[in-house]
């Protein structure tokens, strides 16, 4: 069965430091994977997507993610956090059924 | 191109009442899915429609229902409201099914008193 697991429910970083949000997946076939961001009281917005074209995927707002098949991971990173990055982030498996991770709340300290 | 539009944005109901929420997808998108989001349960899948047919359904009681019209607009209905139905209800549209690439509306915030 397909699944996604976000390894941290909360991550706290200081402004200007790197961000790492971790996501592992389980799939019997080559997956489509996505990261979405949700700011308070808003809908979700697509940050980036992996659909097997390239293992390093660049998204909006300076975020990127690397698909690592050997580690079944799709971690989201950003070199330097900004206060506006504070939000909840969802790792998503796309297939016959779309499967959402539990979410990781990112806090950014000034 | 206009985004996904959900109406109403906020509503307050009392227990036992029913509610209908509306979702207009992005023009050309034929797939619409609905999600319930609460602080305790997180984001939970309700159902997905494609070309007026329910394609997938989440694990919710029969009080939760939905439909999709020929113009791809969708409605969901919750009957006999319970306090636990208080949530943000999110609609997402997609050009096709099973892609995982979803375009979300801002949501309808339902409060049940």
Two structure tokens written together for A23: 């996501």
At B3, the pLDDT band (50, 70, 90 cuts) reads very high
- The pLDDT value recorded for residue A52 is 78
- A38 CB neighbour count, 10 Å cutoff: 21
B3 contacts B92 by C-beta, under 8 angstroms: no
CA angle B46/A5/A36 to nearest 5° reads: 60
Q: What is the pLDDT of residues B45-94, one digit of tens each?
A: 999 999 999 998 999 999 999 999 999 999 999 999 999 999 999 999 99
Sign of CA dihedral A110, A10, A20, A37: negative
Residue B20 CA to residue B14 CA, distance in Å, equals 14
Could A42 and B106 be called an inter-chain contact, meaning their C-beta atoms sit closer than 8 Å? yes
Which residue from A70, A109, A63 is spatially nearest to A89, judged by alpha carbons? Answer: A63
- A3 CB neighbour count, 10 Å cutoff: 11
Nearest-Cα residue of chain A relative to residue B58: A97
Which residue from B29, B1, B41 is spatially nearest to B92, judged by alpha carbons? Answer: B29
Among A34, A43, A98, the residue with its CB nearest the CB of B105 is A43
Among B48, B97, B101, the residue with its CB nearest the CB of A46 is B101
Checking if the pLDDT of B98 tops 80, the result is no
Among A33, A46, A95, the residue with its CB nearest the CB of B98 is A95
Checking if the pLDDT of A98 tops 90, the result is no
**Which residues on B lie below 8 Å from A25 (Cβ)?**
none
Secondary structure (3-state) at A108: strand
DSSP letter, residue A52: S
Nearest-Cα residue of chain B relative to residue A48: B101
Two structure tokens written together for A48: 């980036």
Q: What DSSP line would sit under A41-107, residue for residue?
A: TS-EEEEEEE-SS-SEEE-GGG-EEEEETTTTEEEEEESS--GGG-EEEEEEEESSS-EE---EEEE
Checking if the pLDDT of A29 tops 90, the result is no
Could B42 and A94 be called an inter-chain contact, meaning their C-beta atoms sit closer than 8 Å? no
**Which residues on B lie below 8 Å from A45 (Cβ)?**
104
Q: What is the pLDDT of residues B19-43, one digit of tens each?
A: 999 999 999 999 999 999 998 888 8
- The pLDDT value recorded for residue B65 is 97
What's the half-sphere exposure (Cβ side, CA atoms, 13 Å) at B4? Answer: 32
């Amino acid at each position: 069965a397909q699944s996604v697991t976000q390894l941290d429910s909360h991550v706290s970083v200081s402004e200007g430091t790197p961000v790492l949000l971790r996501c592992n997946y389980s799939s019997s076939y080559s997956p489509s994977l996505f990261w979405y961001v949700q700011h308070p009281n808003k809908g979700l917005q697509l940050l980036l997507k992996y659909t097997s074209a390239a293992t390093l995927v660049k998204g909006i707002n300076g975020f990127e993610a690397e698909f690592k098949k050997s580690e079944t991971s799709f971690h989201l990173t950003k070199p330097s956090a900004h206060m506006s990055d504070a939000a909840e982030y969802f790792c998503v498996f796309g297939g016959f059924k779309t499967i959402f991770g539990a979410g990781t709340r990112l806090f950014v300290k000034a | 191109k206009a985004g996904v539009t959900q109406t109403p944005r906020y509503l307050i109901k009392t227990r036992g009442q029913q509610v209908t929420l509306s979702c207009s997808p992005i023009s050309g998108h034929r797939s619409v899915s609905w999600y319930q989001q609460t602080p305790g349960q997180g984001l939970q899948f309700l159902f997905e429609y494609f070309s007026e047919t329910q394609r997938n359904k989440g694990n919710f009681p029969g009080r939760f229902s939905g439909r999709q019209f020929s113009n791809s607009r969708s409605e969901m209905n919750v009957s006999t409201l319970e306090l636990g139905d208080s949530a943000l209800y999110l609609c997402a549209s997609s050009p096709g099914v099973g892609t995982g690439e979803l375009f979300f509306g801002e949501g309808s915030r339902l409060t049940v008193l």
